[in-house]
Structure 1
Amino acid sequence: MRPTYRRIDPGLIEQLASAPQRFEFFQAVRLLERVFAAREGRLPRERPLESIRFRNSTALAFAPSQIEAVECHRRVDAEGQESGELERIEITPSFIGMLGIHGTLPSHYTERVADRERFHKDRAARAFFDLFSNRAVGNFYRAWKKYRLPVAYEQDRRQSFLPMVLALAGLGFDALRDRFQSDSGGVDDEVIAHFAGVLRQRPLSAAVLQDVLAGYFRVPLRVEQFVGKWYALPLDQRSTLGGTNAALGASMLLGERVWQRSLRIRIWIGPLADDMHAQFLPRGERAAALEKLLSLSTGHHFEYEIRPILHADHVRPARLGGGMRLGFDSFILTRPADTDRDDPMFESHPVH
């Protein structure tokens, strides 16, 4: 008894063959292209449309859908029996071709071809026109998918579409992309491409930056603007008697430091569990990824004060041999904590 062979994607193929009017032409060809490519372990763009043939319609009635008929052909073994493996599919589109109600040739061509096929069992005339129509419809489909960005990404993934989107984000060179993916805390190309549109907005608002970071890390996150800090003045910019920078009301400054609120941004992250909290501390993977995303979004125009918050349920007292770091996750407690702890603080992109 012959063994039973499992067909590839029987649900999709059978649905398309039994009810082709339920499918749009481009979507049907796109799905079939993926089926044949997946069977051979290749991307859709690497496989030509040799397994999908396009035929001419011989109907002169109003077309109710884009696809008139679909016929499946399966491989035949040496015994003359179907092996169950799909070899090719013939699609008859109703909106394009040389024959039919929307054909480019006059209708009497369709009438003569249909007459010979129906009453004389002569399929040669239709097959002759199919030689030209198959190539024309195939090129029409290729032209359609060439300028559809979602389809282009599906076709080649990282080969051409992704580099174009990364170029919009400022990462058009391989060396720059490698820098974001190297070491711990690497940021994947597809993540950067997802946020490319908003990251290149100038100026980048705090609300957008907050949404991007919260969307990437999937944790509660808040961006606080205009955080003040004392900045030391370089020696050559300090006011001295008889020297430079001593114009009263213009460039004169008293003191060795100045208070600025326009250079510093504070990022609150959390409350977090202890394992997630550790990743946002210095030398953590998420801390490294955060620094790379901040470099991509705002460059080095601002400095950031990172404040990861440890959830109260995960605050534990310090103990010898516990591997805790002073000032980050070590606490001296006499009773269980009832509040979240935001003691840890470290800087990113400091302005000197």
Structure 2
Amino acid sequence: MRAWFDQDRPWRSGFLSLMRAIAARDPSRPAPGEADLPSQETYRIGQRPVLAFPPREVASLDTRHGRLDIRLFGLGIWGPQGPLPLHATELAYHRSVALQDRTLEHFADLFHHRALALFYRAWAAGQSTAALDRPDEERFSFYIASLMGTDQAEARQSCLPTHARYGASAHIVRESRNPEGLAATLSQYFDVPIAVEEYVPHWIRVDETGHCRLGMPGASSFMGESAMLGEQVADRQHKFRLVIGPLDFSRYLRLTPRGEDLCTLVEWVRAFIGYEYDWEIQLLIKPEEVPAPRVDGRQRLGHSTWLGECDPAQPVSGMVFEPEIYAA
């Protein structure tokens, strides 16, 4: 902890961050403010009685009787900002400095230690980042997952980082999923431009039982009501397209089939819409990143190969495919 507290720049250290560092260093011990016995704590918190206004929170760090001795300027009963009259601080200061008798100061530290440890505990209980220092005791993720209706065990098995999923909870929990929220979340996570094109035309295959056949009675054989020609129906209501880019070549390859980021992209879209809609992605690549075609096995035909010259002022269209086919 001495490395954490710079004697030449003590104002850079604060009480709460110091206690957080102590709690994170040894997760096997009770967190500050939760110990049942004093022997379970490796530190002692006290306040230095001074008459001046505190210039910073932490006055000094020292080792006493094998424990870290934390001395503060404020947050206790002494000083001009404390609850006791100023002459009480003057008495404690006189006994500690002039008479070298710190009995009164140490007696007050019995209450300072417990009160300030509980003060840190109250602060840490409402801090989601501080809770991550002790993963086995972290509860904030459980609260967010419960509000989202997400099973934590199932979320941890996904290729999508759990805290990235929880960070988008404001968009995911909305009953009406808007395309702007999906595009903004994906763009922020992958750090690339992403747009959503709605009402993409596609064909829906009609189930075998819905085919209309002459001479065969059935629910799909009523002319003008349920009879249809063909085995597929044109539709624009149930498919959208994610236009991603323009990308550099390395980022482009990460989103192609068998790319490293494709699984994460699929999990993001499933988190937003489930399996309700069909969707596809269109990858755009920067014109200066388009590689020259080579017959050496390093490029994949239809994936990362382009013929001819491209317009240097326009992004080049790459693959257009349905990721769900490759993520199954």
Question: If the length of structure 2 is used for normalisation, what is the TM-score?
Answer: 0.75
In 1: Cα distance, 2:261 partner to 2:246 partner: 15
Q: CA deviation at 1:53?
A: 1.3
What does residue range 193-208 of structure 1 map to in structure 2 within 5 Å?
Answer: 193-208=166-181
Equivalent residue letter for 2:229: G
Residue 200 of structure 2 corresponds to which residue in structure 1?
227
Q: CA deviation at 1:268?
A: 1.1
Q: CA deviation at 1:227?
A: 0.9
Give me the identity figure in percent: 23
The counterpart of 1:270, out of the listed 235, 240, 245, is 245
What does residue range 37-52 of structure 1 map to in structure 2 within 5 Å?
Answer: 41-42=25-26, 48=32, 50-52=42-44
Q: Contact 1:72/1:90 (CA < 8 Å) preserved in 2?
A: yes
In 1: Cα distance, 2:316 partner to 2:222 partner: 47
Matching of residue 306 in structure 1 with residue 281 in structure 2: yes
Equivalent residue letter for 2:260: E
Equivalent residue letter for 1:32: L
Number of paired residues? 311
Matching of residue 53 in structure 1 with residue 41 in structure 2: no
The counterpart of 2:107, out of the listed 115, 128, 133, is 128
Distance 1:74 1:14, change over 3 A: farther
Q: CA deviation at 1:211?
A: 1.0
Q: CA deviation at 1:177?
A: 1.8
Residue 123 of structure 2 corresponds to which residue in structure 1?
144
Divergent runs of 4+, >6 A = 66-69, 98-101, 105-112
Q: CA deviation at 1:310?
A: 2.9
Structure 2's unaligned 5+ residue stretches are 33-40
Q: Contact 2:74/2:81 (CA < 8 Å) preserved in 1?
A: no
Q: Contact 1:72/1:86 (CA < 8 Å) preserved in 2?
A: no
Distance 1:344 1:210, change over 3 A: same
SS at match of 1:231: strand
Note the alpha carbon deviations across 1:95-137, whole angstroms, 9 max, x for none: x44998644x788876765675577554323322322332123
Distance 1:309 1:46, change over 3 A: farther
In 2: Cα distance, 1:121 partner to 1:75 partner: 17
Residue 59 of structure 2 corresponds to which residue in structure 1?
70
What does residue range 64-143 of structure 1 map to in structure 2 within 5 Å?
Answer: 64=53, 70-73=59-62, 87-94=68-75, 96-97=76-77, 102-103=82-83, 121-143=100-122
In 2: Cα distance, 1:212 partner to 1:158 partner: 28
RMSD of aligned C-alpha atoms?
3.9
Q: CA deviation at 1:275?
A: 2.7
Distance 1:343 1:125, change over 3 A: closer
Q: Contact 1:219/1:269 (CA < 8 Å) preserved in 2?
A: yes
Matching of residue 8 in structure 1 with residue 3 in structure 2: yes
Matching of residue 254 in structure 1 with residue 228 in structure 2: yes
Equivalent residue letter for 1:73: D
Deviates further, 129-138 or 203-212:
129-138
Q: CA deviation at 1:319?
A: 3.9
Residue 280 of structure 1 corresponds to which residue in structure 2?
255
Equivalent residue letter for 1:325: R
In 2: Cα distance, 1:284 partner to 1:230 partner: 27
In 2: Cα distance, 1:99 partner to 1:129 partner: 13
Q: Contact 1:51/1:88 (CA < 8 Å) preserved in 2?
A: yes
Equivalent residue letter for 2:289: H
Q: Contact 1:230/1:259 (CA < 8 Å) preserved in 2?
A: yes
